[in-house]
Chain A
């Protein structure tokens, strides 16, 4: 589990007291998702604090991505409720979730391969007049003006992501790590209120991962983005997240700070199995979250 990387970033700047005073940005109540006979998410409940970076961890098959998909509207829950800023958004489709301020990135990068890096970002902002065909033909001048603003924002975002040099490159030609940055950039184009990042560090080399993590921290600190991050890289989770939710078999096993979570034998058992293996695992618990030490 130890990736051999050590990240030295300080915790996010939003104070515990501030976060506790504000109502949660997202609440999930008794969320359940069944695929035929398989219960992928089983009466799962948790809340996400505004302006914080929350990690979601758990072994493969724990239901992390399924929960993301339900929160982002890509999958309708079998039962349960999802509240976003106090409003029930259960079953609202993805494109409407986006307009409410929830964006999601994917485990495997989902770039628009045959659009350039810049165009990938320019596609995102909603309400572009140029997306209406009649306006394209009837008022090209207005569209040009709006387009200039979108382009400027996209170029600023590329600069933040250190991808300016690749602005005219087709997204399909970017490396895996650059595609992850592009995913983050697409999320940034909307100034989201809640960003769900699904394994942003997967397949990213250590140098780029350090940059990616720093960017997430900057966005959280300076723009007050709320992040929920699924990640298997415990170093990254430990260094970035104020709070961690541990899932196992579709339900919340425990939650709290990384220090608290990694002391919990149930977490180690969930990751490594029971019996003798679990005993050994307790001894090797440093492998989960060693980077924070």
Chain B
């Protein structure tokens, strides 16, 4: 009975984390899937959201900025706004870069953000991170606190999905796809390409910040390691590519599928002999990379590929 209850709790954890990653993947889908912007700095926007949310919602502490003790309705939008502002600043400088150069620039900016978070002790408590971040519904008895958190994440995800799906089907989504497909022709058709690209980058960045905030509230602790490119940027990219870039359903599906693969692979790697313990974390990345290769052989455009015409 205990083991069944454990599996039940694990399933809730799996879905909650998958849902949080899905928010990030939907952000990337706006940038890359819709508009063709190669953002290799997802971890940076994610971390900005997480830290902003933590600073807004934690109790007073001499170790880091904040102490505002504001509730979730303030910390989540606050995180989105902070990430959107950073994204706007990055986009304003970099948006004219070709996709490979944009990737290099965003990767570099994310690393700068990580190092700032790690070294500015007065603001972020440095490498020690920020703990005691309030978790929504934590006063409820278990498992209801976990279930309520899952429902909150799924509700946010549903709202985002409906909004973004409406945007994708509207002329807005069509222009974004046109820019992705042929920038020169979009320009020649009178579209303000830079304006639209900035809009997509900022909106995607805001969702990545929201994902970071949800993660901070869910795990109650953050440190600069969450801005490591391998642990966030790589996984989110794999989720989108496997799920189906340009398709919101694909983004959701990819997030839950790859998170399940990633999480359950830990069950296997923790059972490896002690001498493999250190290597096990890298083995998981290898497994995810391998899954990507195998799935792309069968589904080059992702499992749920972009479908046109819309509505058919």
Contacts and interface: CB of A to CB of B under 8 A. Distances in A.
Interface of A: 72, 74, 93-95, 98-99, 103-104, 106, 110-116, 118-120, 122-124, 126, 128-133, 136-137, 140, 143, 147, 150, 168, 170, 186, 190
Top 10 closest A-B pairs, CB basis? A98-B190, A130-B171, A110-B185, A112-B181, A136-B170, A130-B170, A112-B178, A128-B171, A94-B187, A123-B178
Interface residues of B, number: 29
A106 B175 CA distance: 19
Contact of B193 (A95, A120, A126, A130): A95
B185 A106 contact: yes
A132 B190 contact: no
Contact of A124 (B167, B190, B199): B190
A137 B190 CA distance: 23
Nearest to B203: A133
B192 A116 contact: no
Given A137-B166, A140-B166, 6 more contacts: A103-B188, A112-B181, A122-B174, A129-B171, A132-B172, A136-B171
Contacts, number: 102
Interface of B: 163, 166-167, 170-172, 174-175, 177-178, 180-182, 184-193, 199, 203, 306, 308-309, 312
22 contacts: A74-B184, A74-B187, A74-B188, A94-B187, A106-B184, A111-B185, A112-B177, A112-B182, A112-B186, A114-B180, A115-B177, A115-B178, A122-B174, A123-B189, A124-B189, A130-B171, A136-B166, A136-B171, A137-B166, A140-B166, A140-B170, A190-B190
A265 to B, nearest CB: 37
Given A114-B308, A115-B181, A123-B178, A95 B192 contact: yes
Contacts of A112: 177-178, 181-182, 185-186
Contact of A137 (B167, B174, B186, B199): B167
A223 B176 CA distance: 31
Contacts of A120: 178
A186 B178 CA distance: 13
A123 B174 contact: yes
Contacts of B187: 74, 93-95
Nearest to A137: B163
The secondary-structure label for the interface of chain B is helix
A276 to B, nearest CB: 42
B171 A143 contact: yes
A115 B189 CA distance: 15
B189 A122 contact: no
B85 to A, nearest CB: 18
Contacts of A98: 188-190
